[in-house]
Structure 1
Amino acid sequence: MGVMKAVTTTFTNAAIISSITSTVFIILLGFYLRRRGTFGENFGKVLTKVVLTVAIPALAFNSFMQPMNGDAFKQGMGVLVWGIIIYILLIFVTPFLYQRYVKEQRDVLAILTTFGSTTFFGIPIVGAVYGAKGVMYSSIFNIGYRIFLYSYAYIKMSGLKMEAKNVKKMFLNPIVIATFLGLFMWLGQHLVPQVTVPVAVNGVQTTGVAAVAFYRIDQTALWLYKPLSYLANLASPLAWLSIGVTLGSISFKDAAADKTPWYYAFNKVIIVPLLNLVILYLLNVTGILSLSYVAVATIVVMMATPTAAVASAYAISFDREAVLSSNASFISTIAAVVMMPIWIAVMEVLNGLGVFH
């Protein structure tokens, strides 16, 4: 397929365009309602808590309720390995992007560039565009992210040794619990007792039958799977509303006055995902690590996200360039809203060209 035909196919794909417009329109709605005063000052924080403690854990867990074959296992493990390697690579590479800054600023900007809002910003978009398989890959990819976010980033920003409370925070986070529980259930589904059930597709019973693990609730317990699905479906719209509310609460003029947040945002939402895409392409053509289109697209979207809330909180809590971090978070969020549709379109074009399979 030629480049122009791939571009045309992408921008005439109703599913892709509607996913992009849904993201942008709902973010703009949140922004408008906050500016208008319909949503109060703390409304975004409330929405964020609902998303992080209820919706995304349900989304992550349900994403693993699907069959596992050799290719799915290979792809999942490939994403897991890359999710660890890329953060090690970014930890060493990102400081070089800020060599002209003093050490304090360089360290903070490097951390903020390495760790994006993959959970709150990335997963809802991945779910809307790439479905359950994309969410599953993003949840697996986030394992490495959380390991380094709660260890390396904490130590670097605080100047202290790793504390027990941070280890507890890492493993008792509802999203982490849901991810590991879902992952272990997905990996072990052929090792547990099987039951024969009528096959359900998207919750609708068909005439076929299949043997599945007894805990595949999408097939064996729709009464439990369905309410989790309703909660999971809240993740995208509530997250996007919250992003809009947050943007509507901050003065753009003040944040935009400094050039550094703009340079940071360029690195965060363009350079970092581009680096991932280039390396994954090279690994694919050399046969070292062959990931599918959905897996690569998921990773690119996850890496094109703005500042991670936790990383920004570290900067504020430990008084490490708190104002710069807040401005960088704001500007990178705007940049991510603009760039995300572009990255999704780029990945669709590459898919049309058969770059990844």
Structure 2
Amino acid sequence: MNTQKIFTQVLVLFFIIVVGFFIRKKGIIDKKMNKGLTELILNVTLPFMIIASFNFPFSKDMLLNAGKLLLISALVHLSLVFASKYIFIKYPKEVKSVLRFSMIFSNCGFMGYPVVESVYGKEGVFYTAIFNISFNILIWTVGVMLFSPEKEDKNYKKALINPGILSVLIGLLVFMLSINIPEPLYKTLEMVGSTTTPLSMIIIGSMLADVNVKEIFGSSTTYVITFVRLIAIPIVTYLILKFLGYSGIFLGIPVLIMAMPAAANTALFAERYNADTNLASRCVFVTTLMSTFTIPLIMLLL
């Protein structure tokens, strides 16, 4: 990979995060607007970007590659579910649920897509959308179970029917049937979808502006999850896949997605199920902040 290009792209993303931080501090956007922009991304711009990324002529090789990445994704995520159970076994329940969630689920949407796109282009978005199918299913089943073990609280409908999954299904239909999307419609998908990256980074910056920095760095627990999430997981993923003989996208995309910070949903789920919301916010803040330094380092492995 072009090391200079990698650092430049991550630096651009970091600068956009800084923009989001300052415009929130200046009151240009508020919490309500932040929530609205988040909904806009999750329900409109990101699905548009995903569908546009599937606008390739059908290729059996690409389909086989997608299937292989989906299998890798399922194995990686399920391994994290298993490992997290024992790594954080000594922590109290309300703390353990936050730490396990942060370990299993990375910010593969807001940060994953932009970073992968900066390295692999539109084809990378295509494969990342496939890779993230496991994430979307597990976060609404295993993810909910971590905070609320009662069976009735697991939302299987949301796991299978959400904009992320639906856009992948539509995209797969376009790809497998070689549907020629009319240029005006494709340009609309592409232009709206292209706003995902800057909007996502601005929202992350805005989220960081809400956290009381003085309270963040006093807890050793925050440092533990930061090390596990940003360094241990991507390096172990890299070593295992490398040992198994994987290279190219089969190595790069899983490692990059695993190098992302804790999912923003960590704080949302903690609040909904009365877990440690303060710890959840700290996990999201610190891992997001530190990822701007660790992601370029992880990229050097590739």
Q: 1:51 aligns with which of 26, 29, 41?
A: 41
The question of whether the paired residues in 2 share the 8 Å contact of 1:139 and 1:179 is answered with yes
Alpha-carbon distance in 1 for matches of 2:51, 2:29: 30
**Could you tell me which residue of structure 2 aligns to residue 194 of structure 1?**
none
The question of whether the paired residues in 2 share the 8 Å contact of 1:58 and 1:232 is answered with yes
Q: 2:167 aligns with which of 172, 178, 193?
A: 178
Q: What CA deviation, in whole Å up to 9, does each residue of 1:145-176 have, x standing for no partner? A: 11211111212211211447x22222331121
For residue 138 of structure 1, report the CA deviation from its aligned partner: 0.8
Q: What CA deviation, in whole Å up to 9, does each residue of 1:12-52 have, x standing for no partner? A: xxx43432221111111111222233333333322222211
The question of whether the paired residues in 2 share the 8 Å contact of 1:33 and 1:39 is answered with yes
Alpha-carbon distance in 1 for matches of 2:71, 2:63: 12
Q: 1:245 aligns with which of 206, 229, 236?
A: 206
Alpha-carbon distance in 1 for matches of 2:204, 2:254: 21
Distance 1:107 1:163, change over 3 A: closer
Distance 1:43 1:256, change over 3 A: farther
Alpha-carbon distance in 1 for matches of 2:272, 2:84: 22
TM norm structure 2: 0.92
Q: 1:216 aligns with which of 180, 190, 202?
A: 180
For residue 237 of structure 1, report the CA deviation from its aligned partner: 0.5
Gaps of 5+ in 1: 1-5, 190-212, 285-289, 348-357
For residue 98 of structure 1, report the CA deviation from its aligned partner: 2.4
Q: 1:25 aligns with which of 15, 24, 38?
A: 15
Q: 2:72 aligns with which of 76, 82, 85?
A: 82
**Could you tell me which residue of structure 2 aligns to residue 139 of structure 1?**
129
**Could you tell me which residue of structure 1 aligns to residue 288 of structure 2?**
333
**Could you tell me which residue of structure 2 aligns to residue 122 of structure 1?**
112
Q: 2:270 aligns with which of 299, 302, 315?
A: 315
More strand per residue: 1
Q: What CA deviation, in whole Å up to 9, does each residue of 1:207-257 have, x standing for no partner? A: xxxxxx3x231xxx1111001000110010110111111111211111222
Gaps of 5+ in 2: none
Alpha-carbon distance in 2 for matches of 1:310, 1:127: 22
Q: What secondary structure sits across from 1:346 in the alignment?
A: coil
Which stretches of structure 1, 4 residues or more, deviate above 6 A after TM superposition?
none
What is the percent sequence identity of the aligned residues?
27
User: Which range is displaced more, 107-116 or 96-105?
Assistant: 96-105
For residue 312 of structure 1, report the CA deviation from its aligned partner: 2.9
Q: 2:253 aligns with which of 298, 302, 305?
A: 298
For residue 100 of structure 1, report the CA deviation from its aligned partner: 4.3
Alpha-carbon distance in 2 for matches of 1:315, 1:142: 22
**Could you tell me which residue of structure 2 aligns to residue 202 of structure 1?**
none
How many pairs were matched up?
302
* Two-structure CA RMSD over aligned residues (Å): 2.0
The question of whether the paired residues in 1 share the 8 Å contact of 2:98 and 2:279 is answered with no
Q: Which letter maps to 2:239?
A: V
Alpha-carbon distance in 2 for matches of 1:274, 1:310: 24
Q: 1:10 aligns with which of 3, 13, 21?
A: 3
User: Which range is displaced more, 98-107 or 305-314?
Assistant: 98-107
**Whose radius of gyration is greater, 1 or 2?**
1
For residue 294 of structure 1, report the CA deviation from its aligned partner: 2.9
